[in-house]
Structure 1
């Protein structure tokens, strides 16, 4: 092995290029330099030895963030096929020092505060991440110019042909770098630096670092950097001129560490322009020692077979042959991604782009996620999170996974608390979704997917505390004080219960009580109550004390009861519809609040030894009774919009507080000729619309259906056009079967609907009372379904066969 003695060995590369990575490894092996200088932040020199850790698995990234402002951060991603990673690994394996020589992160982070996010230059992917310091984009694409000069219309295709598919075995290992340097020098002479003013500063700093390394190690210096910078580093400028460019640069105290990265974040699909469209394909090219096309087609076949597609060995053979044929026809040295994709589409996907999209997502881009050893520096919050992830067996994964959590199990309950606490901190690792197969509060469903940017969010959240619990508590308290809307505070109270933050809840409740006392808008109060009452149910599942919430919710409900009737007067159509939604939400909240109060009263009675009814009357019954009184006021007040009056009547009817005869009377009054058609249509929408099950109500109550039918047929022609959109919206929300049944009932009973009163015998299937003979006919079937025999029926328990019908119901 001969030591390189021809001055600094400048290896210009394209970041994340497997061909460049192989060429760098061959050149370093041939030159055997005494030190390797790599484009990257010099503050990360202490982190280089971690690359040799057995737990370090690329893709990974260097994360730099401002200590006092973690949101200002930058990433330097590296994959196993990145030339910089190959250089680091070669240096560590060879016992040669490796150093980063780019402009320090302390300057780039301070510099990048007001820099726009623009496209990266080909051959030199700058740091990336939230608020990343990205220099101004070049006005030319060097690869595009070179490809066009060579007669290619696609820069990616040209790069693959001349670099990625080039073998260095048995050839000159320095030849590709010499040729690329000459090409870049010609481009820089023709186009200048392309508008990259900051490149001058970066290159001046790198030249100073190269000179320092030459003084220390002599001629045995190798430099791995973006090909665009090689001509500038070759120049011998005055040291004073370089230092002058660095004078007065802004600074910001920065911390650096290694974080996991993903193939998806290396691709342009994710919005990060790392210079490659296909990290999965490049990873395959770098890892395949021989026959890359055959091995790739085997991967594709395995993926499609896993998706239940019939792919045989013959498909693989024919796809390889087609790819080779396409490469020969197009004058390419080897099949590239374009040829393999065309072959896969034609042979394995039968010309369809649907399975081809799966191949691109899973293989061409890929879901590979790197790993970082525990010994890597991290903020205390990150360490606590990693400890919890290991203990709860929630491993971060780049592939989206769904978790079903049973909150009755301690481990699942802890997982739920962790995910909710992270959401409070702005770390959106998990997204709650609708549980399948169960609507109970003891079950939660989460979709988990770890993105590299979440490492920044964790570092940013570190200002709130050193543990997840402490940080979430502090963040919740601060958010409560800063919140302006009452609904925001109630939603925060619910999240505190979900995250089980007992220390934060008193602060949130105090702020909630203050906001509720000052807010006189009944709409705001009605919007805040449901979330607050919804929180009460978590006491049973999570063992949380919700008595303070119950008191505040009851007080909030009383204020709504007082303010709702005057607040519903003189509303326009849009405001009336919004208030109708508030009425629905309050109705559900009052029902739940009444159940909670009843349960609390039952607990109190069990402790005191008194009768349960004695405790229930002033709590649950009183709250619901007050609400029913409010609904009666809304139902009978003419100044209230029709959609709210109709909904109030419907809610009272559903609660059993209003007889069907009375509901029919109120509907008849509203649908009388003296009421404007628009008001009547709004009343109907409130009564039977809005997803309230009004369709089934009309199916089973022929009197109400007859009233609506008679009114609708009597609407004047000039008013019918105005009310039709409202009625169409109301009835189109019904299920198809309900609409079909209503149409059949109207058709059959049309002759009997001449007035607002409909004879019950006018519609087949309806009768004024139960028919005992018809009921007796179904008893044998009911006994069979229930697994009962006549001898099993106790007369004292059932009474008669009619009770059996009730049991079945």
Structure 2
């Protein structure tokens, strides 16, 4: 009895091809089904029939000793290969994958056999067929002839495949196949021969249409072996099923499939009759949910318009283009913004598949799935925000999991700014979005441990030992604390201590300190032992304090800008560390030293004005410098004895903390105005960009008020008391507000209540405590 081999050439992920394959298999009733796919996956193909297997899903294959070398084979419900797999599994028919083994592709240094002849096929074969048929849109042409096509009663189910095979044979008459394609086809012919030898009589082969002409040929076994002789040795490969998404199917780059409308294709596959009414009804429901006024009448008119457009354009049925045009015109009232919502949610969609729990997986993946169930964090492809209160046990555990996964390179959650007004360290906000390729990263991370915690500990220790800069380690320490990796901290701290003792670069130390201080703050709310961490942070702060003035000397403009950022970060970090051991006082002495280091023999001999001005401002804001002294220093800097460029830098550093000083102390504004009006015209042109940058950082209200006062002029730039002190004060109006202010500040309200109209200046008024800036508010 002869063997019958039927080649079913398809376009991957097409609902028309899927329906045609289903009809052909029902007619053929094959005793073996061969599908284009990696043979390594055959042991787990039976899972396709499991109750929990819901497309879209993908086969993930990776090199056993290097999970980064990986590849996906995605399948949707409308993929013809998936239809063939389900037919074979459901009917108990032997199923084989016959493509070139993935292990060859993972071989080190193999480029896949790409040659110059790849250029012989410059475009998608479908595009070439559409062009030959006189169509300029391959997708629209393919929809008309295949995807929307439904077999007529009595029609031969194999007729479409014969037509596709004939067209592909014409396309391949001039070659156009790469070496890799020819090797794949030689391997597939070998698997077909093997199926024949195994005694199968009715063999159905489901493969890409482009390969059909080559598989129909019968070269000798020796010729095919010669083609395969150049393949590298196979790498041991592991394969599993992983969930996939329609959105990932729509992406051509990376692991995508390049299907521009998976949601639409899914609807076509699921719908037996006319797909328009059901799909437009879903579109109307989506728009109504987003507060667009869409009624059933809109649906009826949209159906009519889509059909009319199809008739005008000579199409057998309304395709996606006509459907979207009707949605835009009828339901969206011409709005592309509303239409974009339909395209994103329905044309593409966020469907996420699922795989059975007994599918092969690395232990790390199983532990992650367990934690996701326990913590009620279900992976979802659409972004969603998650606010955590770390004082709650479940939320703290969620935070630990997300931080540990980020350490492992799985950015399922990304920290974002909280929408809840809070400055406490007990609150975290995350944006969650699960991506299918995380499966590869989890497989890669499995080398560090079998559970999420063990893997995170192993990765932290490995990262610490490989770290070359101090900032890497301090950031890692912070991560270890927020991820609650107490087991990794001793090893990381040893490396940190050793590297900190050897590093003399103040910039490196300055980048490292803020992360350590943040880690200390997290330790407070998480109950972490951070005694050793505090000692390291204090030591770094003292080393920065000693080395900062020399490191700031002789810097150019770019270096000064970088150092100013470090200065601000270190100042904030020292403020958080506290001054119980006198650190704050020692740091203030360092700032005073910076402020006094003026250039005496040229710019290279002193600290740039940007840093001196910033040091003065930090001292002023901390109440360690009198406002009058700050004004005196500004006056000296703005004198004609100093270079205008250095003075402009000083002003930039001084005002970078906010420009309200110019409003509270008119004398400072007067000094600045007098200096600006006295700068020579040629020099002013050079200073203008710097001055514009300085004032652009001020609040809009401050800039407006400063401009108004300068325009009103003249401004007091002498040594007299500020004009605000001489201004008349309406004591009655001021006294009326004092009880409320006293209540807000927790002061005795009775004393303030008696002050007001008629009260002596300053009598019985509650004193508002001095703020950090050193001024009475």
Settle same-fold status: TM greater than 0.5: yes
Within the candidate set 3, 6, 10, 2:7 is matched to 10
Change (3 A) 1:274 1:783: closer
- Displacement of 1:212 in angstroms is 1.9
Contact 1:710/1:756 (8 A) holds in 2: no
Q: How many equivalent pairs are there?
A: 755
After alignment, is 13-22 or 779-788 more displaced? Answer: 779-788
Residue 238 of structure 1 corresponds to which residue in structure 2?
220
Q: Which of 227, 232, 235 matches 2:209? A: 227
Tell me the residue number matched to 1:176: 160
Of 110, 126, 133, the residue aligned with 2:107 is 110
> How many angstroms apart in 1 are the aligned matches of 2:72 and 2:734?
75
Q: Distance in 2 between matches of 1:628 and 1:790?
A: 37
Q: CA deviation at 1:490?
A: 1.0
Instruction: Provide the residue aligned with 2:193 in structure 1.
Output: 211
Q: Distance in 2 between matches of 1:136 and 1:226?
A: 19
Name the TM-score, length of structure 1 as normaliser. Answer: 0.89
Partner of 2:734: 775
Specify which of 157, 172, 181 is matched with residue 188 of structure 1. 172
Task: Please list the CA deviations of residues 618-669 of structure 1 after superposition, one character each: whole Å capped at 9, or x if unmatched.
Answer: x2xx100110010111111111111111111111111111111111111111
Matched, 1:591 2:575: yes
Offset of residue 768 of structure 1: 7.1
CA distance, structure 1, for counterparts of residue 340 and residue 663 of structure 2? 47
| C-alpha separation in 2, matches of 1:538 and 1:380 | 30
User: Hey, what does 2:62 align to over in structure 1?
Assistant: 65
How far residue 270 of structure 1 moved from its aligned partner, in angstroms, is 5.6
Instruction: Give secondary structure in 1 for the equivalent of 2:415.
Output: strand
Q: Give 1:523-542 correspondences, 5 Å limit.
A: 523-542=507-526
Q: Give the match for residue 382 of structure 1.
A: 365
Q: 35, 40, 49: which one pairs with 1:43? A: 40
In 1: Cα distance, 2:588 partner to 2:562 partner: 20
Taking the TM superposition and a 5 Å limit, the aligned residue runs for 1:652-731 are 652-689=619-656, 692-693=657-658, 695-731=659-695
Does structure 1 residue 468 correspond to structure 2 residue 459?
no
Q: Are 2:517 and 1:557 equivalent residues in the alignment?
A: no
SS of corresponding position for 1:158? helix
Inter-partner Cα distance in structure 1 for 2:245 and 2:504? 51
Matched residue SS, 2:231:
coil
Q: CA deviation at 1:63?
A: 0.5
Q: Structure 1 residues 65 and 271 mapped into 2: Cα distance closer, same or farther (>3 Å)? A: closer
Q: For residue 82 of structure 1, what is the aligned residue in structure 2? A: 79
Distance 1:246 1:116 in 2: 11
Q: CA deviation at 1:320?
A: 1.1
CA distance in 1, matches of 2:584, 2:44: 65
Aligned to 2:298: 315
Residue matched to 1:611: none
Contact 1:61 1:258 in 2 (8 A): yes
* Partner residue in 2 for 1:392: 375
CA drift of 1:696 comes to 1.3
Structure 1 residues 151 and 352: alpha-carbon distance in aligned structure 2, compared to 1, 3 A threshold = same
Q: CA deviation digits over 1:514-572, x for unaligned, max 9?
A: 11111111111112111111211011111111111110111111111111111111111
TM-score, with structure 2 as normaliser: 0.92
| Structural mapping, 1:76-475, within 5 Å | 76-110=73-107, 113-115=110-112, 138-170=121-153, 171-189=155-173, 191-192=174-175, 194-247=176-229, 249-250=231-232, 251-268=234-251, 272=255, 274-436=257-419, 437-475=421-459
**1: distance between equivalents of 2:9 and 2:252?**
26
Change (3 A) 1:77 1:790: closer
Counterpart in the other structure of 2:584? 624
Following the alignment from structure 1 to structure 2, what is the Cα–Cα distance between the partners of residues 95 and 355?
Answer: 48
1:636-655 to 2 correspondences below 5 Å: 636-638=596-598, 639-655=606-622
Does 2:50 correspond to 1:53? yes
**1:459, distance to aligned residue in structure 2 (A):** 0.2
Give the gaps of 5 or more residues in structure 1: 122-134, 596-615
Match of 2:710 among 733, 746, 753: 746
Looking at structure 2, the residues matched to 233 and 580 of structure 1 have their Cα atoms a distance apart, in angstroms, of 69
On the 8 A contact 2:564/2:614 being kept in 1, the answer is yes
Show CA shifts across 1:86-105 (max 9, x none). Answer: 11111222222222111112
Q: Secondary structure at the match of 1:377?
A: coil
Cα pair distance change 1:727/1:339, threshold 3 Å: same
- Hey, what's the Cα distance between the residues in 2 that align with 1:786 and 1:203? 82
Unaligned runs of 5+ in 2: 599-605, 755-761, 771-775
Deviations for 1:328-352, whole angstroms, at most 9, x for unmatched residues?
Answer: 1111110011111111122222222
Residue aligned with 2:70, SS: strand
CA deviation string 1:770-801 (max 9, x = no partner):
76544324347769999999879899xxx974
Q: Secondary structure at the match of 1:71?
A: strand
